[in-house]
Structures are given as structure tokens and as C-alpha cells.
Amino acid sequence: MKQMRDKCAIAGIGQTEYLVNSGRDSFSLALEAITNAVEDAGINVKDIDGILKYSVDSSSSVEMIAANLGLPNVTYWGETFFGGGSGCSAVTQAVMAVASGMANCVVVYRSFTPYDFMQGAVHNSTTLWARASGSGDFLRPFGWTAMMDVFSMMTQRHMHEYGTTNAQLGAIAVAARKHAAMNPNAIRRDPLTLEDYYDSPFTTEPLRELDSAISPCDGAAAVIVTSAERARDLKQTPAYIRACAQVLGIPKTTLWWEQLPFKFDFPETQSAYVAPRLFEMADMTPQDIDVAQIYDCYTYTLLTQLEDYGFCKKGEGGAFVENGRIELGGELPVNTHGGHLSEAYIHGFNHIVEGVRQVRGTSTAQVQDAETVLVTGGVPAPTAALILRK
Amino acid sequence: MSEYKKPIPKVNEMTKGHWDGCKNHELRIQRCSCCETYCHPPQPMCAKCNSTAMEWHPVEGKGTVYSYIICRNTSVGEFPARGFTYPYATVMIELDGVEGVRIASNLVDCELEDIKIGMPVSVVFEKINDDITLPKFRPL
Ligand SMILES: [Zn+2]
């Protein structure tokens, strides 16, 4: 994969307002984020010749995007599934398209509304994993209803094996809120203390409401991926894609939700398999990363990835997040936009946009002299990650 | 008997062997008849040797609590668990002698505050209707 190192860059970023119960449809949100990204990049919209949709639902198809933008010459398109893990995977496909010459200017987007993500899955059952496979029938009769149940199960086991505490999870929620308070686009900006966190009710113990992503919320985000040469001629400071890597499944943790609750294990989440490929492609180590945008559908997801991407040893994620280490000014500022916990839940795509801002030096919680940014997708699920650099 | 309001599993070709076993008070886990690797939930192909000769193998039904959650409220953005009274616990049981197999269930005769990871449990069967019996677990 080294031949793709630094070959492409993110030249434009766009997003919508992040809202709760806006009633807006995902298609118009997608078009708005894409046109904002086009304007940000300073390109002509007709220059787009590749489209990649990142999805878990049926919203906003690539044909309809092309038809509405009036794109005459789309030579590459695709879709990555597995909402949560695959935002960086969609960007990876765009890099492959540009590096191979299949396309020159690729827009990648995620549009997220609760209707598409939650109610859109109702015809299968109350949640996503209970599909026709019958696996859901081994869960729901026992009171399993939600994604959160998987993460709470893992959190409980992590606490048992490594002594991780609620206070450590709370430190993640507090850090996210501090960053969100600086970000006018964030949905949750009220100050949050560890005491407030403790007062937040358990939903699925050991996780609380404040351990969870903002849900439901509406919004979309998009990026423009093009060649490094072209990006240098455009309006913005390029965010070079130093490395990209992805993995569908691994021996123990296996694949998507249907099987996941039965097979989660330590220390192997998919991130632990992405990390070596990613850092090898980048010719970097975790110590070279200045700031990280780490997928945080729950506080626990962020904690386990700090371990899996090698910022600390397995089991030491809890200690790592203490004492402001992941806050602005700390050793490794994480989720400087506020993350899913406090900015918005756009399935990791807002993390990519924030990663680009850090490289450009335009974040509302800018890390001084930031040059390298890690951006990750969710686990446990098919996942991917990027290293962006100045 | 009062009406049962919790979700009842739908039985299909892939899962029938498991539910038939429960009806006969026998916990059955899918096993590859070629390499004897166990698999749960069931799937058509053995992920180890790629055989499609999968069979149903009775297991003793003893195990330990691998992890558990206490559902106290509807999860953010989700629907309430149908028929359950909050709070309740869902457990993931690691079965003895069936390497790598875990099964979701509920504990019977156990208070929420007494649940501990690693506690030994044994299967009991709870008849829901003429077609479905659920495997539950009781602390040993
Ligand atoms: Zn086999």
C-alpha cells in the first residue's frame, strides 16, 4: 500500500448544520454538504468524476446525487456499508480510485437522519442486527434491544479484566464536552462535570446516557479527494492522505452485528488489525500522531481504540484518558470537535472533517502546530482509519 | 397462563435444530461434522474448514457468566424491550467444553446485584408455548 502514500489529499470539506429532529431528509442534507465541500475546495462541481457514498441505509443514492449535481462524466462510484466503521473506508476507496486513475476528483459523503438509521430498520425488527439470519432470535427473546447492549457487555468485561472505572469513562465524556463548548456547530455545548456525568442515569449499565452518542440527530458531511498535485493548486491547504487501511473482519470478533455479541473478545478488535497496516503505510508510529479523531459512539469505543491503535497497552486505556491527557493541551488531544458524544453523530464522517481542519489549522479547538492526525472508524465492526498530514 | 409479551424467536431451517433441542430440554450447539468446530449462532458453512456438513451437537449446558448488562432504561435512540420490566439483566454465558461459544440468556433465581462475571451457571428450560422453549441459566 506504500505506493499510495501521500498520493492523494482531501481538498475540500463540507457539512450541514447538525440538528435534532429537524425533519430534513437525508438527500437534501447530502446535497448541501457536497456543495459546501465543492465551494470549500474551490472547484467546479462538474469536475467531480467519482462519487462514494458511505451508508448503512437506503438514503441518497449515488445516481440521484449525480443527477441533481448534473455530473456529466462520473467514471467511478461505489458505496461502503457498515455504518460506524467505514467512513474512512469510503475515503480509502476514493484514494484507490484517484491513485489508479479511475477518477480524478471524488466526492465522499455520509448523510445521517434517524429515520434512515433507526426507523428505516424497523421493518426488520427494533434494531439492525435482527435480520433474516435468525441471529437476532438468539438475542431479542432475552431482552437484547440495542446497539448499546453490545458495547455495555464489552465495557463490563473490560472493567472486569482491567479494572476500568466509570470515572475513566466519565473523563472521556467531559473531554468531549470541553471541546464541543468551543465549537459553535456542536449540538451539546453546556458545561459538563464528572459530577454531572455521575448524575446521568444508567441506561444499560455499566453505560449511562452520557456515555452515548447524540442520538437521534440529523446532518451530513462530505469531503473532496483528489490527487496531491491537483490539491496543491486549489484554494485550501491540502490534507495529504498519508495512509489509509481497512479490515472487514478478524478471526475472533468476526463481522457485523448479527454475530458480534457472541464473539467479542480482548484484545482483538478490528482496530488492532488496522493499526499495523496503517502505521506501516505511513512509516510512522503512534508517537508521531499529534491529534486523534477517534470514533466514539460510546465512551468505551474511544477507550478501546486508544489501546488498539497503540497509544497505550491493552487494558491501560482507562488510565490513559485520566488527568486531561486527551483534552486540548494534553498529550494526545482527542475529538477536538466534540465527537459523537457532543458535536453530532454522523457515523464518523464529522471526525474526518475535523481531522482536515486540524491539518489546516482551522479547528475551533486547534492543536498548536498539529501536523499529523489519526482518524478512525468504529469498532467492533468492519473498520478503517486514515492518517492525514500537513 | 397470562399472555407472553416478550419477543419469541422465529424458527427457520438454520435454527430449527437448536429450538427443537430446547423443546426436549437438550441444549444443542451447531458443530461441523468434519472438523468438530462449534459455531453459535448457527451458519451454513464452517468458518474453519469450509464444510457445509453442519450438525447439532448436545452439550452439557454448564458454563460461566462471561459478561452481563443491567438494562435500566430504554437505550438512547432505541425502543423499549418488549414485554420486559426494567430493570432486568441480560447475560452472555460462556459454555464449558464448547470452545469459544457464548450464548445470550437471562439468569433465573438470581438477584441483579448478585450477578458476577465468572459465576458458574447451569441451563434450565423455560417453556413459552408449544413450539418454543428458551434456555435460561441458574447459578450453581
Ligand atoms: Zn469444519
CATH fold of A136-214+284-389 reads: Peroxisomal Thiolase; Chain A, domain 1 (3.40.47)
| Identity of the residue numbered A302 | L
| Identity of the residue numbered B140 | L
- Most confident listed range (A141-150, A171-180, B70-79, B92-101): A171-180
- Shortest CA distance from A265: residue in chain B: B100
Task: Say how far apart CA A53 and CA A26 lie, in whole Å.
Answer: 12
Of B41, B84, B134, the CB nearest to A262: B41
Q: Does B100 touch chain A (CB under 8 A)?
A: yes
Q: Quick one: pLDDT at residue A147?
A: 80
Ligand 1 center to B46 CA (angstroms): 5
pLDDT digits (tens, 9 = 90+) for A256-279: 555 667 776 665 688 999 999 999
pLDDT for residue A140 is more than 90: no
Residues 6+ positions from B2 with CB-CB distance below 8 Å? none
pLDDT digits (tens, 9 = 90+) for B20-39: 999 999 999 999 999 999 98
Q: Does B90 touch chain A (CB under 8 A)?
A: yes
Task: Say how far apart CA B96 and CA A19 lie, in whole Å.
Answer: 48
Q: Quick one: pLDDT at residue A130?
A: 46
Active site residues of A: 295, 345
DSSP states of B29-76 as a string? EEEETTT--EESS--SS-TTT----EEEEEE--EEEEEEEEEE-SPPT
Task: Say how far apart CA B126 and CA B6 lie, in whole Å.
Answer: 13
CB-based burial of residue A132 (10 Å sphere; 0-12 exposed, 13-18 middle, 19+ buried)? exposed
- As a whole number, mean pLDDT of residues B4-24 equals 93
**How would you classify the pairing of strands A291-293 and A372-376?**
parallel
Mutate to test the interface with B, among A133, A145, A298 (most CBs of B within 10 A): A145
Q: List Cα–Cα distances, A380 to A60, A86, A198, in angstroms.
A: 26, 11, 26
Of A307, A313, A309, A267, residue with least CA distance to A288? A309
- As a whole number, mean pLDDT of residues B97-114 equals 94
Kindly report whether the global pTM for this prediction surpasses the value 0.80: yes
**Of A51-65, A79-93, A126-140, B27-41, minimum mean pLDDT range:** A126-140
CA B40, distance to chain mean position in Å, is 9
CA distance B103 to chain A (A): 7
All structural domains of chain A with their residue ranges? 136-214+284-389
| Identity of the residue numbered B75 | S
Task: Say how far apart CA A302 and CA A295 lie, in whole Å.
Answer: 6
Prediction ipTM score: 0.96
Residues of chain A in contact with residue B39, where contact means CB-CB under 8 angstroms, are none
H or E, element range at A7: none
Check residues A130 and A16 and name the one with the higher pLDDT: A16
